Amino acid sequence: MIEWVGVPAGLYFHVEALMAHKFRFRTTDTVGVADAESDHLFLDECFVDTGQVDLLLDCADHRRIVLGRTGAGKTALLNQLLERSVTAINIRPESLALAYISNSTTLQFVHGLGVNLDIFFKLLWRHVFTVEIIKAHFHLDSPNAKEGLVEWLHGVFSDKKRQHQKAVEYLERWGSKFWEQTDYRIEELKTKLESELEASITAVIPATKINISGGQSLTQEEKARVVERAKYVVNQVQIQELSYVLELLDSILEDPEKRYYIVIDRLDENWIEEDLRYLLIRALIETVRDFCKVRHAKIIIALRYDLIDRVIRLSRGPGFQEEKYESLYLDLSWTGEQLTQLLDKRIDRMVRHTYTSQLVTHRDLLPKTIGKQPAIDYILDRTLMRPRDMIPFLGIPTL
């Protein structure tokens, strides 16, 4: 017989145990929590591997955008990838300090006038990812290490394709801050674009007030001139050179046994003002696709279905073709058998660590039927077929 200690009669299941002895659960016992980031005790031991981790670790497989509903296990899946690869780099959106972008009056000014900042946002992502991988590959943790890298690149690629030479020049120009934190490099790129925009705009209309409401005082002719100048500056960002950098990166990462992964989760949280967040995620998705050119590196991100729908609907430009991105999607869904396996692993972990080494499953804790249904089917029918719904069902009752 299994009982809950300290719980009044009627508040717990009274079930037959498939064991030769009795034991009692305490009200503090648990099979884990629904939030993966807080589920440290159970997540690693009770992870149900359906082959998706190996799929994400395969750089030849194009699927790298994990899609699922809230609570479907996206964070748990990415955590497993980070555990299994020593060359996986976890980037949290809030650590990028992209508030630099939303707090920029200059960028808000040109954005408000309708200037498309997609190219600049793609530059940000490409730059951040490229530098993170190069830092990890060459162990760049000091200025001396960076100087040695540039010399090595010049020696190896001096007689190679022009694209490689351009890429080395780009890294040499921007690489002086390789060992700085990611947010510093984003601030550096933002400041450079701001200064070029301000210089270009004031050269055309000296009295222009570059702030969020500054565009309201401009005539239509002045707006057109400002937009033209701003578009020119934005379009001059070194996106072409960064394409060369991707080719260079592919040449550097020539060992198929040494693959690099960049993992980004929690993109649905409030890490930046909402309007710009959709534009930045759209640019991120395009950058993820661009990185498919690098054979031994992979950018992996997780998104909710509703978030990617909003991103596509609110930020799509002329000629955007969603089907081009569908090959990148990994749909995270669960079968009843997989969810049952997950629940059994958690039950067994709780009992094994506290009460007995004997295998215990849901069949030992639940009545055989509820109504006319098997108990596990009764539970599954009342979920959205995701782990977040299953775990609370076996939660410990509280007084």
pLDDT in tens, 89-111: 999 888 776 777 878 888 888 88
Compute the chain's Rg from CA coordinates: 27
Give the residues of the chain that fall short of pLDDT 70.
1-29, 32-41, 97, 141-147, 157-163, 171-181, 207-209, 211-216, 238-242, 317-320, 353-357, 394-399
Can you tell me which residue has the tokens 């497989």? 61
Q: Where are the domains of the chain?
A: 2-47+335-393, 63-331
What is the predicted pLDDT for the residue at 245? Answer: 79
What is the predicted pLDDT for the residue at 94? Answer: 81
What is the predicted pLDDT for the residue at 399? Answer: 34
Q: Give the global pTM.
A: 0.81
What is the predicted pLDDT for the residue at 56? Answer: 97
- 202 close to 222: Cβ distance less than 8 angstroms: no
What is the predicted pLDDT for the residue at 174? Answer: 60
Query: In the chain, where does DSSP find H-type helix?
Result: 52-57, 74-84, 99-102, 105-112, 118-138, 143-157, 162-174, 182-204, 220-235, 239-252, 274-290, 305-315, 336-354, 362-365, 375-380, 387-393
What is the predicted pLDDT for the residue at 1? Answer: 35
Neighbours of 393 (CB within 10 A): 16
CA–CA gap between residue 383 and residue 339 (Å, rounded): 10
